[in-house]
Structure 1
Amino acid sequence: MKSRVMSFIKRVAAVALFAPVVAMAAGAELHLDKAPVSKDPAALQHGAKLFVNYCLNCHSASYLRYNRLQALGLTEGDIRDNLMFAGEKTGDLMRISMRRDEAKKWFGAAPPDLTLVARARASEFGSGADWLYTYLRQFHRDPNRPTGWNNLVFPNVGMPHVLWELQGEQVVKGGEHGASLELAKPGKLSPAEYDKAVADLVSYIVWMGEPVAEKRKTIGMVVLAFLAGLFVLAFALKKNYWKDIH
Structure 2
Amino acid sequence: MNLLKKLIAVLALVPAVTFASEATFPLDQAPNRTKDLAALQNGAKLFVNYCLNCHSASAMRYNRLVDIGLTEEQIKNNLLFTSDKVGDLMKVSLSAKDAKEWFGAVPPDLSVIARSKASGAGSGPDWLYTYLRTFYKDDTRPTGWNNLVFPNVGMPHVMWELQGVRTVKFVEEKDPHDASKTVHKFAGFEQVKPGKLSATDFDNATADLVGYLEWMGEPGQNKRKRLGVVVLLFLGFFMVLAWLLNKSYWKEIK
Q: 1:216 to 1:164 in 2, by over 3 A?
A: same
State the 1:62 CA deviation.
0.8
Structure 1: gaps spanning 5 or more residues: 1-13
**Deviations for 1:15-65, whole angstroms, at most 9, x for unmatched residues?**
989766655655564311111222221111111111000100000011111
**Deviations for 1:40-98, whole angstroms, at most 9, x for unmatched residues?**
21111111111000100000011111000011111111000000012111111111111
Q: Which amino acid aligns with 2:31?
A: P
1:99 pairs, out of 76, 86, 95, with 95
Match of 1:193 in 2: 201
Match of 2:118 in 1: 122
Match of 1:7 in 2: none
Match of 1:226 in 2: 234
Instruction: Identify, as 1 or 2, the structure richer in helix.
Output: 1
Q: Distance in 2 between matches of 1:183 and 1:216?
A: 43
Structure 2 residue 38 is the aligned partner of structure 1 residue 42: yes
Q: Which amino acid aligns with 1:216?
A: R
Q: Distance in 1 between matches of 2:212 and 2:16?
A: 32
Match of 1:183 in 2: 191
State the 1:243 CA deviation.
2.3
Which deviates the most, 142-151 or 167-176?
A: 167-176
Give the 3-state SS of the residue equivalent to 2:117 in structure 1. Answer: helix
1:52-71 mapped onto 2 (5 Å cutoff): 52-71=48-67
Q: Distance in 1 between matches of 2:214 and 2:115?
A: 8
2:137 pairs, out of 141, 144, 161, with 141
Could you list the runs of 4 or more consecutive aligned residues of structure 1 that deviate by over 4 angstroms after TM superposition? 14-29
Match of 1:209 in 2: 217
Q: Which amino acid aligns with 1:224?
A: L
Q: Distance in 1 between matches of 2:23 and 2:143?
A: 28
Q: Distance in 1 between matches of 2:16 and 2:197?
A: 41
1:76-91 mapped onto 2 (5 Å cutoff): 76-91=72-87
Instruction: Identify, as 1 or 2, the structure richer in strand.
Output: 2
Identity %: 61
Give the 3-state SS of the residue equivalent to 1:182 in structure 2. Answer: strand
Q: Distance in 2 between matches of 1:67 and 1:19?
A: 37
Give the 3-state SS of the residue equivalent to 1:178 in structure 2. Answer: strand
Structure 2: gaps spanning 5 or more residues: 1-8, 172-183
Which deviates the most, 179-188 or 79-88?
A: 179-188
Q: Distance in 1 between matches of 2:145 and 2:203?
A: 19
Match of 1:33 in 2: 28
Contact residue 147 and residue 153 of structure 2 kept, 8 A? yes
Which deviates the most, 170-179 or 196-205?
A: 170-179
Q: 1:187 to 1:15 in 2, by over 3 A?
A: same
Aligned length: 233
Match of 1:174 in 2: 170
1:150 pairs, out of 146, 167, 175, with 146
Q: 1:105 to 1:63 in 2, by over 3 A?
A: same
Q: Distance in 1 between matches of 2:12 and 2:124?
A: 26
Q: Distance in 2 between matches of 1:226 and 1:173?
A: 57
Structure 2 residue 177 is the aligned partner of structure 1 residue 160: no
Q: Which amino acid aligns with 1:170?
A: R
Return the TM-score normalized by structure 2.
Answer: 0.85
